[in-house]
């Protein structure tokens, strides 16, 4: 469609056409993402092939010091005068061997079954058997340790190859003192990042891997170690959560997912546009006491949500302040079902969230609006544009261009917005039509919390965690690749 044909369309037709154009771009973004994924995997496989070929080449063409280093890590470094590197490699290999012999092999041997010997009682004595939880946890840790050993062994081989090459070409190798000095100078970034990387692995990556693997087991309240064992069950938990028919987990998951996405949409875009509107109103010429209005709005941010949301939740209860005042004034005869009717509860949560979210957007929008060149508005006025046209053609495009990444992260954050739902309604109202103790206002994250803490149904909670990641990842990848602020980072039209 040409620009002239587009201008002849009515406003609803223009919106419909632009929406269809957006929908056409979504499949292309998904295809592009899949293509990049496969290209990345192919690059990894090619790189792995090169590494294996280089290892064989190093062994064939290496001297006796290099070849012996394939068995005794660090020997070649020490033999060539790099004692510090040699000692560190050898210590790592020694620690790895001791760990595997005394600890790691026993857990790896049971990793495929997660234990076969149950804990029993013989009279008054408890005879402890296998602990599936520890087998899974330490099995993952052992596998990661093996991967770290393979990587370190490869570094050891590379250093022997380079050391042999340098000496052959008449170059001098770094001494231990020079290595230590380099870690405080040109390699200082590695020194600084070593502890944070270890912490991220221990407290982030390892728990995520553990959670993913729990989704493929039957770990729940009936299989609680150490008294009971749990084992691998394959994809059955995913089938349970994605099944259909009756009041089962599949139907509950679809209802909770629908409400989660609906909530995220309204919580993001209502706050965004209303916050922008409030910022525009306060910034208008002629508005007095601008600082006072901003301060009043910011007060909602200063009060902790744990206090404010619990208080607001009690205000909207059947015997709370809101119903009491309305009944005293004679406006209603019975308490309004703010937390007992599903529709009322959902609308109430969305409206209360405006009180929380608008001040944030007001502050963000205020800073951005002040940076829009005033001559753009002046030119628009000279061309006869009214206030709405200037908003639609200047203010809104500029705001969307600058705050596009924020909108995306805000939408993702609202999908996992635990505080608002848990403190206001606790997921209620509950229903017999929903499985897993889910309520009509539960998000996926609050439902996951209930299944973990209240029902101890860890297997399905882990599946929900994985599906939450899949949903948010797909939305982020598709929308991120379509945003103008990402595709044209240095432009604004």
Are 468 and 448 contacting, i.e. CB atoms less than 8 angstroms apart? yes
Distance of CA 206 to the CA centre of its chain: 15
Are 401 and 485 contacting, i.e. CB atoms less than 8 angstroms apart? yes
**How much of the chain exceeds pLDDT 70, in percent?**
90
Region 133-138 average pLDDT? 92
Taking the C-alpha atoms of residue 89 and residue 83, their distance in angstroms, rounded to an integer, is 10
Structure tokens, 404 = 């596009």
Query: At 456, which helix (H) or strand (E)?
Result: none
Region 140-155 average pLDDT? 94
**Do residues 177 and 282 share a domain?**
no
Structure tokens, 317 = 């209860």
What pLDDT, on a 0 to 100 scale, did the predictor assign at position 214? 93
What pLDDT, on a 0 to 100 scale, did the predictor assign at position 136? 93
**How much of the chain exceeds pLDDT 90, in percent?**
27
**Do residues 210 and 267 share a domain?**
no
Is residue 191 very low, low, confident or very high in pLDDT (cuts 50, 70, 90)?
confident
Residue that finishes a domain, picked among 234, 260, 277 = 234
**Do residues 49 and 194 share a domain?**
no
Region 272-293 average pLDDT? 84
Are 294 and 381 contacting, i.e. CB atoms less than 8 angstroms apart? no
What pLDDT, on a 0 to 100 scale, did the predictor assign at position 396? 84
What pLDDT, on a 0 to 100 scale, did the predictor assign at position 490? 53
**Do residues 170 and 310 share a domain?**
no
For the chain, percent helix, then strand, then coil, each to nearest 5?
70, 0, 25
What pLDDT, on a 0 to 100 scale, did the predictor assign at position 5? 61
Is 426 part of a structural domain of the chain? yes
Region 180-185 average pLDDT? 84
Is 265 part of a structural domain of the chain? yes
Three-class SS state of 40: helix
Taking the C-alpha atoms of residue 493 and residue 473, their distance in angstroms, rounded to an integer, is 29
Region 404-418 average pLDDT? 88
**Do residues 77 and 102 share a domain?**
yes
Q: Helices marked H in 169-286 — which ranges?
A: 176-182, 188-200, 206-214, 236-241, 249-283
What pLDDT, on a 0 to 100 scale, did the predictor assign at position 284? 78
Region 157-186 average pLDDT? 85
Is 244 part of a structural domain of the chain? no
What pLDDT, on a 0 to 100 scale, did the predictor assign at position 408? 87
What pLDDT, on a 0 to 100 scale, did the predictor assign at position 350? 93
Taking the C-alpha atoms of residue 280 and residue 272, their distance in angstroms, rounded to an integer, is 12
Q: Is residue 35 predicted with pLDDT exceeding 80?
A: no
Q: Is residue 29 predicted with pLDDT exceeding 60?
A: no
Contacts of 313 (CB under 8 A, 6+ apart): 339, 423, 424, 425
Is 264 part of a structural domain of the chain? yes
Distance of CA 197 to the CA centre of its chain: 18
**Do residues 191 and 143 share a domain?**
yes
Residue that finishes a domain, picked among 61, 85, 103 = 61
Q: Lowest mean pLDDT: which of 22-36, 194-208, 294-308?
A: 22-36
Residue that finishes a domain, picked among 32, 61, 90 = 61
Compute CA distances 378 → 286, 373, 375, 389, 432, whole Å. Answer: 18, 9, 5, 13, 61
Is residue 245 very low, low, confident or very high in pLDDT (cuts 50, 70, 90)?
low
Is 493 part of a structural domain of the chain? no
Compute CA distances 293 → 287, 296, 302, whole Å. Answer: 10, 5, 15
**Do residues 48 and 103 share a domain?**
no
**Do residues 225 and 175 share a domain?**
yes
Compute CA distances 389 → 6, 377, 395, whole Å. Answer: 17, 10, 9
Q: How does pLDDT run across 454-469, given as a tens digit for each residue?
A: 878 899 999 999 998 8
Q: Is residue 14 predicted with pLDDT exceeding 80?
A: no
What pLDDT, on a 0 to 100 scale, did the predictor assign at position 2? 57
Q: Helices marked H in 431-483 — which ranges?
A: 444-453, 458-482
Region 309-327 average pLDDT? 89
Is 299 part of a structural domain of the chain? yes
Is 492 part of a structural domain of the chain? no
Structure tokens, 1 = 């469609």
Report the number of distinct structural domains present in the chain: 3
Is residue 123 very low, low, confident or very high in pLDDT (cuts 50, 70, 90)?
confident
Residue ranges making up the domain that contains 427:
249-487
Region 72-99 average pLDDT? 92
List the CATH number of the domain containing 371. Answer: 1.10.3720.10
**Do residues 147 and 260 share a domain?**
no
Region 333-348 average pLDDT? 91
Taking the C-alpha atoms of residue 252 and residue 87, their distance in angstroms, rounded to an integer, is 58
Q: Is residue 258 predicted with pLDDT exceeding 60?
A: yes
**Do residues 55 and 69 share a domain?**
no
Three-class SS state of 80: coil
What does pLDDT average to over the chain? 84
Taking the C-alpha atoms of residue 459 and residue 224, their distance in angstroms, rounded to an integer, is 12
Q: Is residue 154 predicted with pLDDT exceeding 60?
A: yes
Q: Lowest mean pLDDT: which of 6-10, 216-220, 374-378?
A: 6-10
Is 99 part of a structural domain of the chain? yes
Backbone phi and psi for residue 439, each to the nearest 5 degrees, phi listed first: -115, 170
**Do residues 426 and 314 share a domain?**
yes
Are 164 and 82 contacting, i.e. CB atoms less than 8 angstroms apart? no
**Do residues 184 and 102 share a domain?**
yes
């Amino acid at each position: 469609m040409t620009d002239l044909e587009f201008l002849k369309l009515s406003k609803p037709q223009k919106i419909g056409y632009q929406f269809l154009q957006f929908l056409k771009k979504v499949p292309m973004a998904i295809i592009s993402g899949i293509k990049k994924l496969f290209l990345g995997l192919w690059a990894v496989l090619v790189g792995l092939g090169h590494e294996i070929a280089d290892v064989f080449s190093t062994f064939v063409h290496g001297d006796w010091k290099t070849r012996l280093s394939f068995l005794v890590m660090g020997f070649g470094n020490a033999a060539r005068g790099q004692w510090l590197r040699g000692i560190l490699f050898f210590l790592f290999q020694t620690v790895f061997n001791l760990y595997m012999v005394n600890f790691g092999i026993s857990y790896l041997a049971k990793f495929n079954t997660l234990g076969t010997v149950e804990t029993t009682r013989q009279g008054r004595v408890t005879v402890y058997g296998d602990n599936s939880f520890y087998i899974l946890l330490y099995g993952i840790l052992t596998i990661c340790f093996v991967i770290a050993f393979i990587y370190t062994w490869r570094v050891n081989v590379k250093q022997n190859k380079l050391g042999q090459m340098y000496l052959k070409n008449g170059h001098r190798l770094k001494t231990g003192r020079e290595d230590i000095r380099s870690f405080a100078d040109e390699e200082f970034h590695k020194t600084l990042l070593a502890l944070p990387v270890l912490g991220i692995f221990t407290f982030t990556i390892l728990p995520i891997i553990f959670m993913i693997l729990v989704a493929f087991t039957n770990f729940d309240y009936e299989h609680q170690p150490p008294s009971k064992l749990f084992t691998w069950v394959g994809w059955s938990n995913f089938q349970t959560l994605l099944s259909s028919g009756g009041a089962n987990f599949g139907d509950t998951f679809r209802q909770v997912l629908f409400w989660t996405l609906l909530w995220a949409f309204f919580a993001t875009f209502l706050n965004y546009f209303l916050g922008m509107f409030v910022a525009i109103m306060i910034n208008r010429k002629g508005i007095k006491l601008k600082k006072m209005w901003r301060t009043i709005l910011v007060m909602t941010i200063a009060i902790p949500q744990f206090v404010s949301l619990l208080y607001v939740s009690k205000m909207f209860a059947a015997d709370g302040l809101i119903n009491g005042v309305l009944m005293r004034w004679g406006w209603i005869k019975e308490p309004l079902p703010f937390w007992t009717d599903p529709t009322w509860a959902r609308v109430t949560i969305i409206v209360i969230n405006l009180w929380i979210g608008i001040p944030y957007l007001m502050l963000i929008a205020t800073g951005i609006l002040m940076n829009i060149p005033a001559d753009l508005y002046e030119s628009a006025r000279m061309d006869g544009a009214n206030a709405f046209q200037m908003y639609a053609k200047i203010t809104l495009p500029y705001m969307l261009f600058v705050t596009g990444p924020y909108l995306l992260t805000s939408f993702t954050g609202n999908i996992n917005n635990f505080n608002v739902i848990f403190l206001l309604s606790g997921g209620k109202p509950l229903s017999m039509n929903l499985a897993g103790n889910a309520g009509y206002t539960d998000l996926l994250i609050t439902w996951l919390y209930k299944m973990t803490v209240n029902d101890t149904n860890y297997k399905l909670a882990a599946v929900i965690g994985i599906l939450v990641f899949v949903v948010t990842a797909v939305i982020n990848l598709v929308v991120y690749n379509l945003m103008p602020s990402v595709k044209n980072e240095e432009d604004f039209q």
